[in-house]
Copies of this chain bind each other. A is one copy, B any other.
Amino acid sequence: MGYKLASRREKQEDTFVKVGSAVVGGSLLTMIAGPCAIENREQYLQVAVDLKNAGVQMLRGGAFKPRTSPYDFQGLAAEGLDILAEAHRVTGLPVVTEVLDTRDVETVVKYADVLQVGSRNMQNFALLKEVGRSNGPVLLKRGLAATIDEWLMAAEYIMAEGNSQVIMCERGIRTFETHTRNTLDISAIPALKQLSHLPVIVDPSHAAGKWEMVAPLAKASVAAGADGLLIEVHPCPDDAICDGGQSLTMVNFSGLMKELVPIAKAVGRECRCNAEHLVKKNAI
């Protein structure tokens, strides 16, 4: 279909994307979690420590937020990047954050371990080329109405610039159904595994748009062969500046980690869970 570097035909072995201590695509399920946006230093550092204790491999947090309305909170920008870097120092965990502007790539790559290209920029070809010229791993979200072929072509844009560390992230597509925010295309996991050697993770939080659905969708994704999950966790979802409705509390997240253990095992993977530690702590 036109993509070469991203194609399984060109490279038959699975690609492992190494990010600090984590490896996306290996036998250990990569759990990435954190709040949608970095809202303030204290809160983010606390969540980061809690998530590390729960057993996650990577932290997420937005410093630049793509919002439908120009009047909504646009992120802490530079201040957010500082907090992100501090969270990395404190926990030792790699961090992933979104970059929105070609002019910011050079800066963001200094603070973040993984550059996220969001759904709305999946065919922002200037940005794809720019992150392709950087040497950091890229988490490429599927566009709202992108076919699997177009999505692989977007990966090809990054790889054609010399950066082959691309992680594909399914996050739901736009359909007529309104019960969910987006329709999680679970079939994209086996489809990508067949067409490409790149690792595939799933963001059930943005797909569902409702926290109650995150656990079943996360379990389904692992059962279908996903290499990891990207999950929104907020210490107090009701107070979240954005996407509170789809964020898990720490207790629910650690419960999910525990539930994922046997599912991961059933498909030949490991989910490393410290749920007991966290549940106890939160139960106090």
Contact = CB atoms under 8 A, between A and B. Distances in A.
A178 B147 contact: yes
B68 A150 contact: yes
B223 A219 contact: yes
Interface stretch (A42-50, A123-131, A133-141): A123-131
A175 interface: yes
B120 A100 contact: no
A239 interface: no
A175 B160 CA distance: 30
Nearest to A181: B187
Of residues A3, A103, A104, A223, which shows the largest number of chain B Cβ atoms within 10 Å of its Cβ? Answer: A223
A113 interface: no
Contacts of A120: 123-125
Given A125-B100, A156-B70, A220-B220, A187 B213 contact: yes
A183 B179 contact: no
Nearest to A145: B145
Contact of A185 (B183, B225, B265): B183
Contact of A2 (B69, B101, B153, B222): B69
A212 interface: yes
A143 B122 CA distance: 12
A157 B69 CA distance: 7
A124 B125 contact: no
Total copies of the chain: 4
Contacts of A185: 175, 177, 183-184
Interface in A151-181: 153, 156-157, 160, 173-180
A187 B217 contact: yes
Interface in A221-266: 221-225, 259, 262-263, 265-266
A66 interface: yes
Interface string A1-43: 0110000000000000000000000000000000000000000
A148 B184 CA distance: 15
A107 interface: no
